[in-house]
């Protein structure tokens, strides 16, 4: 069972990792003209994860 989507932009940046013998490729994309910096987005996502974890605990 393999679900593969080929990105339209062949030059899109990506991260490739092998975990327990399985290779994962994650494409990195940001909307053009976005005002949010990468660091701000990561901080926002982490804050959201922490808040969700606290609510479900």
Angle at 43 between CA 7 and CA 32, to 5 degrees: 35
Q: What is the pLDDT of residue 1?
A: 46
Give the range of the structural domain holding residue 47, as residue numbers without chain letter: 14-56
Q: What is the pLDDT of residue 5?
A: 65
User: Which segments of the chain have a pLDDT < 70?
Assistant: 1-10, 57
Q: What is the pLDDT of residue 23?
A: 92
User: Closest Cα to residue 25, out of 52, 7, 43, 51?
Assistant: 7
Tell me whether residue 18 is in a domain: yes
Give the count of domains, the chain: 1
Tell me whether residue 50 is in a domain: yes
Tell me whether residue 9 is in a domain: no
Tell me whether residue 40 is in a domain: yes
Tell me whether residue 4 is in a domain: no
Tell me whether residue 19 is in a domain: yes
pTM of full prediction above 0.75: no
Tell me whether residue 52 is in a domain: yes
């Amino acid at each position: 069972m393999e679900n593969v989507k080929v990105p339209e932009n062949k030059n899109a940046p990506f991260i490739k990792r092998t975990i327990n013998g399985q290779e994962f490729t994650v494409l990195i994309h940001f909307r053009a003209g976005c005002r949010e910096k990468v660091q701000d987005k990561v901080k926002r996502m982490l804050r959201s994860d922490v808040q969700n974890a606290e609510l479900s605990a």
